[in-house]
Amino acid sequence: MELACVSRMPADRELIIIVDRPARQMRRAVKPKKVSGLMPQVHNQTKMSDSHYNQATVYVVDDEPTVRQSLQSLCTSEGWQVKVYADGTSFLNAVSTDNLGCVVLDMKLPGMDGLQVHEEMIKRRVTLPVLFYTGFGTVQTATTAMKHGALDFLEKNQSPDHLIDSIRNAIDKHNHVIAHQRQAQQVRQMLDSLTPRESEVLTLVMEGQTSREIATQLHRSEKTIQLHRANIMKKFNVRRVVDLINLVTTAEEA
């Protein structure tokens, strides 16, 4: 058994990486130092900042049982849910598009390789960020993976701490993506609530036309167009046209 202390942690904690050589298992243990009066405050801050991480699922796709077992132990020690798969097909058949999380994906797999699995995820609109984790990394494969939209490319001989940081970053980004998608869905529901005339007016507002110009084009009075615009703003719960345009653009780009 080998112990290694890493000094990257805050002053009131020290990080111990424990590697069990026979089983090739890794786990992280955060060992608080005895600092009088500081621990309750630090503990509460960690809980608050890490609360959404505990809801995340890390999908591990690797054909080596020892690697799957090691990564499962490592990620579980961080409080994440972990699901492991020996090949890309079983992962694709089981993955949920609703879960917050990320994918730790080996490059060389039986059947589909890592790049093919990632391409299939994109086709299926699975938004989970992908971290390629391989023992056969080259500059060419790393470049190809990043061009395909991978968030990171890690070699298996790198520090477990590096992998944990990458997973945290991936979960943060996916949390942002999910929030963006939910907002876009709400905006689409607002768009569906518009009357046909309000939809016409909104389209012209998005083109930058004034109420007078819209009134002329639709052969209505300017006062009527202003009333439609007011109803649209109320349904979208905004006060400025620029905010309305930003919301609609968000839904169109999602």
Question: Model confidence over 60-95: pLDDT tens digits?
Answer: 999 999 999 999 999 999 999 999 999 999 999 999
Domain that holds residue 209: 193-253
Nearest 5 degrees, angle CA 115-CA 68-CA 169?
65
Instruction: Give the pLDDT confidence of 167-207 residue by residue, as tens digits.
Output: 999 999 999 888 888 888 889 999 999 999 999 999 999 99
Q: How would you class 110 by CB atoms within 10 Å of its CB: exposed for 0-12, middle for 13-18, buried for 19 or more?
A: exposed
Both tokens of 127, joined, read: 């938004």
- Taking the chain, what is the end-to-end CA distance rounded to the nearest angstrom? 49
The CA distance from 154 to 134, in Å, is 6
Q: What is the pTM of this model?
A: 0.64
Shared domain for 173 and 151, answered yes or no, is yes
pLDDT bracket for residue 38 (50, 70, 90): very low
Does position 11 have pLDDT exceeding 50, yes or no? no
Same structural domain, 57 and 166: yes
- Residue at 218 is within a domain: yes
Lowest-confidence pick of 37-41, 56-60, 220-224: 37-41
CATH of the domain at 103: 3.40.50.2300
Decide if 23 is inside a domain: no
Centre a 10 Å sphere on the Cβ of residue 159 and count the other Cβ atoms it contains.
14
CATH number (domain holding residue 221) = 1.10.10.10
Q: How far apart are CA 214 and CA 221, in angstroms?
A: 9
Work out the pLDDT band at 32, boundaries 50, 70, 90. very low
Are 65 and 142 in a shared domain? Answer: yes
Continuous segment of H or E residues that includes residue 133: strand 130-134
Whether 152 and 209 share a structural domain: no
Phi, psi of 119 (to 5 degrees): -60, -40
Starting at the earlier edge strand, list the strands of the sheet with 25-32.
2-6, 13-20, 25-32
Say yes or no: 105 and 215 in one domain: no
Instruction: Please identify, among 182, 207, 223, the residue that sits at the C-terminal boundary of a domain.
Output: 182
For 44-53, 131-140, 241-250, which range has the lowest pLDDT when averaged over its residues? 44-53
Q: Taking a C-beta distance cutoff of 8 angstroms, is the pair 34, 149 a contact?
A: no
Looking at the structure, do residues 60 and 160 belong to the same domain, yes or no?
Answer: yes
Is residue 27 one of the residues assigned to a domain?
no
d(CA 125, CA 132): 18
Tell me if 187 is assigned to some domain.
no
Would you say residue 83 lies in a domain? yes
C-alpha 148 chain-centroid distance: 16
Q: What does the pLDDT read at residue 179?
A: 85
The CA–CA distances, whole Å, from 17 to 5, 23, 27, 43, 86 equal 7, 15, 6, 20, 25
Q: What are phi and psi of 57, to 5 degrees?
A: -120, 130
Mean pLDDT of 122-128: 91
Average pLDDT, the chain: 80
In whole angstroms, what is the distance from residue 155 CA to residue 166 CA?
Answer: 12
Count of domains observed in the chain: 2
Is residue 178 included in any domain, yes or no? yes
Tell which of 127, 158, 182 closes a domain: 182
What is the chain's alpha carbon radius of gyration, rounded to the nearest angstrom? 25
Query: Which of 163, 182, 201 corresponds to the end of one domain?
Result: 182
Residues 172, 203, single domain; the answer is: no
**What is d(CA 61, CA 105) in angstroms, rounded to the nearest whole number?**
5
| Percentage of residues in the chain having pLDDT higher than 90 | 56
The answer to whether the beta carbons of residues 165 and 94 sit under 8 Å apart is no
**Which token pair is 149?**
């939209």
What is the per-residue pLDDT for 109? 92
